[in-house]
């Protein structure tokens, strides 16, 4: 791949360790350079602005996912058979098989259980007063809900978060971080194959739906393990990211916390604002399967473009005062859950979990304060805290 579109080039590495820890200056420079920017290190065209990201996500016939959405050919080959990595009828078939379990309609019956679990998590946290926002608040609910829903056997759960994080790392470029965690991504793949072979999924789960579909001949048996990972891996880290970012933002913007406490009906909008400002997923790629015009730049067929959700969501062309945290802003059009055909299938569940935690906290906690220096997890694609020491003052 070379810069055949003659787009402005960016020679710094947004996937370096420092670029992972503090990505926003990279995004600002990319947006300044133009609507299409050649990343010299990764040899792809980055789309750092809102309008082009949205247009490319909408045009899923020209900008295909079926050749992979990762930034390296190895992961793109390994992720064949997933919903993430497919187009058209194949994508529709895979998405319909499982996504219906995750629609808000299907989740209505789960909402009481999730609220109850959220209450227990917040109870325990408030009683301790000093907590790690990541481990004690953000992880607790997704780990209590998602593995059961997907039907992952009890004995394979201790590695889940590390494996899921590694699966995201593997979607980045072939860098040091990729090498460091790739063995864990492979472990998840191997474990998932064993689960499918032994049929050790939980009864009534999404995993069982997958096996049944394979038995009925509507799904090749070889695709089962990939589909399990497809729905399990993205349901953990992402929600952990959103909840911990919310906690961090409210701890550093106490006036916004008071606004939320005074009007809890703002919770859904507040969560969208969190996902806009601190998008859990940085970027995925698409392959142009025809010559295309993106923001006035001619992208030749066969090029790979990088949709930088996290940058689009802070594009000053789209948002007033984009770096400000304002839970009352008109924010629903953000791209934090992607957009279009490949829009996050689990967003209903992510909303359910995150909103339940925020509602419980708003009802019970007067102040959220930082009680130490937060640290960032290092991951090519997932943007989240590793540790977030907090003090909760009960109302």
Partner 1 sequence: MRVTVDHDRCEGHGLCTQAAPTVFSFDDEGDLAIAYADTDLPDDLVTAAREAVDVCPVAALRTG
Assigned token pair, 237? 């880290």
Does the protein bind partner 1 through residue 347 (CB under 8 A)?
Answer: yes
Does the protein bind partner 1 through residue 345 (CB under 8 A)?
Answer: yes
Residue 320: CB atoms within 10 Å: 9
The binding track of 50-89 with respect to partner 1, each residue x by CB under 8 A or -, is --------x-------------------------------
Q: From the list 6, 17, 21, 108, which residue makes contact with partner 1 (rule: CB under 8 A)?
A: 108
For partner 1, the closer of residues 103 and 328 by Cβ is: 103
Q: From the list 2, 11, 89, 105, which residue makes contact with partner 1 (rule: CB under 8 A)?
A: 105
Using alpha carbons, select from 391, 394, 387, 395 the residue that is nearest to residue 368.
Answer: 391
For partner 1, the closer of residues 108 and 128 by Cβ is: 108
Q: Which of the stretches 75-83, 104-112, 117-125, 170-178 binds partner 1 when contact is defined by CB under 8 A? A: 104-112
Does the protein bind partner 1 through residue 339 (CB under 8 A)?
Answer: yes
Q: From the list 73, 343, 372, 394, which residue makes contact with partner 1 (rule: CB under 8 A)?
A: 343
- Residues in 260-279 at the binding interface with partner 1, rule: CB under 8 A: 268
Does the protein bind partner 1 through residue 104 (CB under 8 A)?
Answer: yes
Q: From the list 7, 224, 344, 377, which residue makes contact with partner 1 (rule: CB under 8 A)?
A: 344
Assigned token pair, 61? 């016939």
Element of type H or E holding 228: helix 224-232
Phi–psi pair at 368, nearest 5 degrees: -115, 125
Cα distances from 350 to residues 189, 272, 286, 322, 345, in angstroms, run: 23, 11, 24, 23, 10
Rounded Cα distance between 225 and 221, Å, is 8
SS3 category, 215: helix
Rounded Cα distance between 259 and 136, Å, is 24
Q: Which of the stretches 9-17, 141-149, 248-256, 343-351 binds partner 1 when contact is defined by CB under 8 A? A: 343-351
- Dihedral (C-alpha) 232, 238, 241, 246: value to the nearest 10 degrees? -120
Q: Which of the stretches 6-14, 101-109, 111-119, 217-225 binds partner 1 when contact is defined by CB under 8 A? A: 101-109
Does the protein bind partner 1 through residue 25 (CB under 8 A)?
Answer: no
Residue 272: CB atoms within 10 Å: 21
Binding site for partner 1 (CB under 8 A): 58, 92, 99-100, 102-105, 108, 268, 332-333, 337-341, 343-345, 347-348
């Amino acid at each position: 791949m070379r810069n055949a579109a003659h787009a402005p080039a960016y020679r710094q590495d947004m996937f370096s360790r420092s670029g992972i820890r503090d990505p926003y200056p990279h995004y600002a420079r990319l947006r300044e350079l133009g609507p299409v920017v050649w990343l010299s290190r990764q040899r792809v065209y980055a789309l750092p602005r809102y309008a082009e990201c949205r247009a490319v996500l909408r045009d899923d016939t020209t900008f295909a996912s079926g050749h992979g959405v990762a930034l390296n050919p190895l992961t793109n080959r390994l992720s064949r058979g997933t919903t993430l990595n497919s187009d058209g009828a194949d994508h529709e078939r895979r998405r319909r098989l499982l996504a219906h379990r995750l629609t808000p309609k299907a989740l209505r019956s789960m909402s009481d259980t999730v609220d109850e679990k959220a209450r227990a998590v917040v109870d325990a946290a408030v009683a301790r007063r000093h907590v790690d926002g990541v481990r004690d608040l953000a992880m607790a609910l997704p780990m209590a809900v998602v593995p059961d829903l997907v039907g992952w056997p009890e004995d394979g759960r201790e590695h889940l978060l590390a494996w899921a994080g590694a699966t995201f790392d593997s979607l980045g470029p072939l860098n040091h971080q990729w090498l460091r965690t790739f063995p864990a991504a492979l472990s998840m793949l191997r474990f998932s194959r064993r689960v499918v072979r032994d049929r050790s999924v939980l009864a009534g789960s999404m995993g069982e739906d997958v096996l049944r579909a394979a038995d009925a001949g509507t799904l090749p048996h070889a695709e089962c393990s990939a589909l399990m990972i497809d729905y399990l891996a993205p349901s953990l880290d992402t929600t952990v990211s959103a909840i911990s970012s919310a906690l961090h933002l409210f701890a550093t913007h106490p006036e916004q916390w008071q606004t939320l406490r005074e009007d809890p009906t703002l919770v859904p909008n507040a969560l969208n604002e969190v996902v806009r400002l601190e998008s859990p997923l940085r970027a995925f790629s698409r392959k142009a399967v025809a010559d295309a015009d993106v923001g006035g730049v001619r992208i030749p067929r066969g090029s790979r473009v990088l949709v930088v959700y996290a940058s689009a969501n802070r594009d000053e062309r789209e948002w007033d005062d984009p770096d400000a945290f304002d839970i009352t802003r008109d924010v629903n059009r953000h791209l934090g859950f992607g957009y279009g055909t490949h829009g996050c299938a689990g967003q209903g569940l992510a909303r359910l979990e995150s909103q339940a935690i925020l509602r419980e906290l708003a009802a019970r906690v007067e102040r959220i304060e930082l009680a130490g220096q937060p640290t960032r997890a290092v991951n090519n694609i997932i943007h989240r805290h590793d540790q977030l020491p907090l003090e909760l003052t009960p109302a």
